[in-house]
Structure 1
Amino acid sequence: MKFRMSVLALAVLASAGVAHANEQVSFLLNWVAGGDHAPYYYAQKMGWYKDAGIDLTLLQGKGSVVAAQAAAAGVDTFGLADMATIMVAIGKGGDAVAVMDVYANYPGGFYWLKSSGIKSVKDLAGKKIGNPPGDAARALWPALAKANGIDPNSVTWVNLSPNAKLAALKAGTVDAVTEFYNLHHVYKNTLGANMGYLAWKDAGVNPYGNAIAVNGAYLKAHRATVAAFVKVTQKAFAACVTKPDPCIQALVEANSGLQAKDQLVNWQEVEQLMSDKTSQTQGLGWFDPNRMQDTYNLVKQYVGLDKPFDVSKYYTNEFLDKSIKMKVVPMTP
């Protein structure tokens, strides 16, 4: 399937709409800059945000919770966060609207050693699973356990910092860990042929993953700016899918300590998370209403919402260009 975007469409930002000149916008990432953030740095380097009237400040993140709360409270204009976390922030009274999906596939998965004998979710019963306390995987685990016919209480959760999970798994301190797929190459390089892996999406639970949310009040007052930001960002993602090397170079130039080779692999894994039927047919970054409702229901039942809300009022596809579609990218086992 060919990527449906011309070079001309990439360069002509007038079609994206233009904000008032030098409109100051802050965008808080979900984490420290990595391959998954390359499109934002590429668009900034190329001057696309500036050409659209946006003076963009990219901010390093400290997790989805912080980014979602910052956007919901208006501390920052935009935030990049897990969709479930954005919903929790809205349920707490936050004012945020999701304007572009990034991870069409839920990025979470389980990693284990094949030598342990684990082959499926059912085999995790009686085992120790390592991940950070408060991690979304723990909250969503009951849904995955139910989908696979096992008791959610049959596993023991072990508190581990994000950087300690792989070492603990390799040492046998835990039997399995949860991890996002854009670190798949790190586990594969370390564990080799002994790596066991299962994506949550293939085990019956596939809520939306990372998405870009804007402060709701800002959206109402600055609709042209939001429209320009989304369209530039969507085109930047399209450009990076078509030709990733310049995007990775822009990322590395803006963030010391990153290695282009490593971040390129990270980006290639992100492409796999971006590709699903909706992004391939409706548009890159598109939210499917049924899946958004399913994600909301999952969050409401298993994560919990302080106050229920109509999810249809807290996301929109109106700023996305339907002519920009994602290519088919099969996930690497």
Structure 2
Amino acid sequence: MTNWLRMAAVALTLSLVTAPAYAEAPATKIRFTLDWKIQGIHAWFYWAKAKGYFKAENLDVTIDQGEGSAATVTRILSGAYDAGFGDINAIIQNAATRPAETPRMVYMIYSKAPFALLTKANGPLKSLKDLPGTKVGAPAGAATLKLLPVLAKNNQIDPASLNITQVAPNLQEQMLLQGQVDSIAVFSATSYMNLVSLKLDPDKDFRWFFYSDHGIDLYSNGVMVSPKLAHEKPDAVKGLLRAINRAIRETIADPQAAIDLLATEEPLLKKDIELRRLTYVYGSLIDTPEARQLGLGDVNDERLKSSISIVSSAFELAKQPDAVQVFDRGFLPPKAERMPPAANH
């Protein structure tokens, strides 16, 4: 009888050892939207998926292309997506009226906003003081255009003195090159590579006036999640950020490998262009002095409050949202794991 009990105990122990393989919780499904069509700056999301980092966090992540940085917010608001890569300034605008439903930014990627005025190096615009009387081209509704009067006021320029010409987004650079406008209000990550595609040198042939260098120091794109996902599945959000954070670091360490992998997802990708876009954006918008101080993903609280105030004023929001309604650092990996790696070109 004693031997039988021993055998039963051994069998029970073996069943308990093997049980977790069958009792493991099902993977959390996360529908993730990008801000635009697949580009080099999205390489880390696909790297995390291809390398199994999402799976290792027990996540089943579906990545879809986007329709704009602001559209990421509305896509999550609608319930169609759980998380995405988009613009914190659009979060601010929506949090003013729908704070409980608006997604929160949980990992800041673009520590420096890509909003800029672009002009030819030999053009009439040598400094912002030359803006009055010159022609500025910008697409209707673009954030760069909405913030232009704020930029002007901040630099003692009468917004009424600005001569604005509305242009189609795909014709901005051509109109500047043809002299139809003297400058264009752009998203640097896009225009820089458009100029490269035209066989021009964005650094030597053009002059860039970043809003952030002239008093409009905003944040920009990062990872945001729905309040529902953050509340119901906080561990899934932490896992999502761990996977993306690891992928960003590895992508920067070997950008060519990341672009090669991305090209398997989008065969029409121009690998040389997207490799340069990736390294340019990392060097100009992500690897900033602030990111080197706080680590990737985090923000400076006072700067965030200031940017919320700037956006609230520029878009004439009825109410200025609180910082906690816009950004939540509670899901970030430890700072030591988020330090920006040196770019490997």
1:109 is the counterpart of 2:116: yes
Alignment partner, residue 200 of structure 1? 211
Change (3 A) 1:203 1:191: farther
Q: Distance in 2 between matches of 1:161 and 1:215?
A: 32
Alignment partner, residue 8 of structure 1? none
Change (3 A) 1:195 1:95: closer
Alignment partner, residue 294 of structure 1? 306
Is the contact between residue 36 and residue 267 of structure 1 (CA under 8 Å) also seen in structure 2?
Answer: yes
Residue 47 of structure 1: which of 44, 47, 52 is its match? 52
Q: How does 1:110-129 map to 2 (within 5 A)?
A: 110-129=117-136
Q: Distance in 2 between matches of 1:166 and 1:126?
A: 20
**1:126-152 residue CA offsets vs partner (Å, 9 max, x unmatched):** 111111111111221122112221111
One-letter amino acid matched to 1:88: Q
Alignment partner, residue 92 of structure 1? 97
Is the contact between residue 113 and residue 219 of structure 2 (CA under 8 Å) also seen in structure 1?
Answer: yes
SS at match of 2:122: helix
Supply the RMSD in Å over aligned alpha carbons. Answer: 1.8
- Quick one: percent identity of the two aligned structures? 25
Q: Distance in 2 between matches of 1:51 and 1:153?
A: 55
Alignment partner, residue 312 of structure 1? 324
1:177, CA displacement in angstroms? Answer: 0.7
Is the contact between residue 32 and residue 84 of structure 2 (CA under 8 Å) also seen in structure 1?
Answer: yes
Is the contact between residue 124 and residue 182 of structure 2 (CA under 8 Å) also seen in structure 1?
Answer: no
Is the contact between residue 101 and residue 210 of structure 1 (CA under 8 Å) also seen in structure 2?
Answer: yes
Q: Distance in 1 between matches of 2:227 and 2:216?
A: 29
1:61 is the counterpart of 2:66: yes
Change (3 A) 1:89 1:60: same
Alignment partner, residue 10 of structure 1? none
One-letter amino acid matched to 2:217: N
1:43, CA displacement in angstroms? Answer: 0.9
1:281, CA displacement in angstroms? Answer: 2.0
Is the contact between residue 26 and residue 58 of structure 2 (CA under 8 Å) also seen in structure 1?
Answer: yes
SS at match of 2:67: coil
1:284 is the counterpart of 2:299: no
1:75, CA displacement in angstroms? Answer: 2.2
Is the contact between residue 170 and residue 191 of structure 1 (CA under 8 Å) also seen in structure 2?
Answer: no
Q: How does 1:213-232 map to 2 (within 5 A)?
A: 213-232=224-243
Q: Distance in 2 between matches of 1:20 and 1:173?
A: 60
Alignment partner, residue 275 of structure 1? 287
**Per chain length, whose mean CA-contact separation is higher, i.e. which structure has more relative contact order (CA < 8 Å, sep 6+)?**
1
Q: How does 1:73-222 map to 2 (within 5 A)?
A: 73-93=78-98, 94-183=101-190, 184-187=192-195, 190-192=199-201, 193-222=204-233
Change (3 A) 1:83 1:195: same
1:92, CA displacement in angstroms? Answer: 3.1
One-letter amino acid matched to 2:239: A
SS at match of 1:100: strand
Alignment partner, residue 77 of structure 2? 72
**1:196-233 residue CA offsets vs partner (Å, 9 max, x unmatched):** 22222222212001121111122101111111001111
Is the contact between residue 23 and residue 225 of structure 1 (CA under 8 Å) also seen in structure 2?
Answer: yes
**1:34-75 residue CA offsets vs partner (Å, 9 max, x unmatched):** 011110011111111112111111111111221111223332
Alignment partner, residue 5 of structure 1? none
Residue 34 of structure 1: which of 35, 39, 63 is its match? 39
SS at match of 1:116: coil
Structure 1 gaps, min length 5: 1-18
Alignment partner, residue 325 of structure 1? 339
**Greater displacement, 188-197 / 288-297:** 188-197
SS at match of 2:105: strand
Change (3 A) 1:285 1:71: same
Q: Distance in 1 between matches of 2:267 and 2:226?
A: 30
Moved over 6 A (4+): none
Q: Distance in 1 between matches of 2:276 and 2:227?
A: 35
SS at match of 1:56: strand
In the comparison of the two structures, how many residue pairs are matched? 311
Q: Distance in 2 between matches of 1:198 and 1:20?
A: 51
TM-score norm. by structure 2 comes to 0.85
1:257 is the counterpart of 2:257: no
1:26, CA displacement in angstroms? Answer: 0.8
Structure 2 gaps, min length 5: 1-23
Change (3 A) 1:328 1:207: farther
